[in-house]
Amino acid sequence: MKVGGQFTVASSVGALRVLETQPEKLAGVASLSDVVSTPDGGFTALFTPATPFGRQPIATRVATERADERGAALRVHGRRGPHVIDVELTISFVEASEGTIVGWEADVWVRGPAASVGQRVALDVARRAIGDLLVSSAACA
């Protein structure tokens, strides 16, 4: 399923790009804990988004495929018991007078028992979880 969104943040593109090389700054994001850099330039974390089913901690691994002044492409793998979530996330940055416009698009695949959740519910949960995480992450820049 495809989801996406856009928001404006007061931070510059340069400040946002620091998060790529210093993922430990993401420890300030309420829905992330145990953020640890990996040797391949990515990071692992426990992601606990708010969902209609309550808070659901997901062991997450993030790998950067591309990152530059235009944005980034990330591959995200999450697991909670038998449930697996894979995300290909593309983020774009556009400088604006009020800061940076951040656009994002994601292809999301849900596997395991969670895949049986209705597409509409899964779509809304994914859009909200990814959008909230990106807004919170940008605020840490």
pLDDT digits (tens, 9 = 90+) for 14-28: 999 988 888 888 888
- pLDDT at position 4, please? 97
Phi and psi at residue 110, to the nearest 5°: -115, 130
Q: What is the mean pLDDT of residues 85-114?
A: 94
Please tell me the predicted confidence (pLDDT) of residue 118.
Answer: 59
Domain range for 109 is 2-139
Burial class (CB in 10 A: 0-12, 13-18, 19+), 98: exposed
Cβ atoms of 126 and 108 closer than 8 Å: yes
Give residue 114's pLDDT band: very low, low, confident or very high (50, 70, 90).
confident
pTM for this prediction: 0.91
Split into its structural domains, the chain has a count of: 1
Query: Nearest Cα to 70, choosing from 88, 89, 90?
Result: 90
C-alpha triplet 35, 109, 102: angle, nearest 5°: 60
Q: What is the CATH number of the domain that holds 54?
A: 3.30.530.20
pLDDT in tens, 115-141: 776 566 778 888 999 999 999 999 988
Percentage helix, strand, coil for the chain under 3-state DSSP, each rounded to 5 = 30, 50, 20
Question: Long-range pairs for 123-126 at CB < 8 Å and ≥24 separation?
Answer: 123/1, 123/3, 125/49, 125/51, 125/52, 126/1, 126/3, 126/87
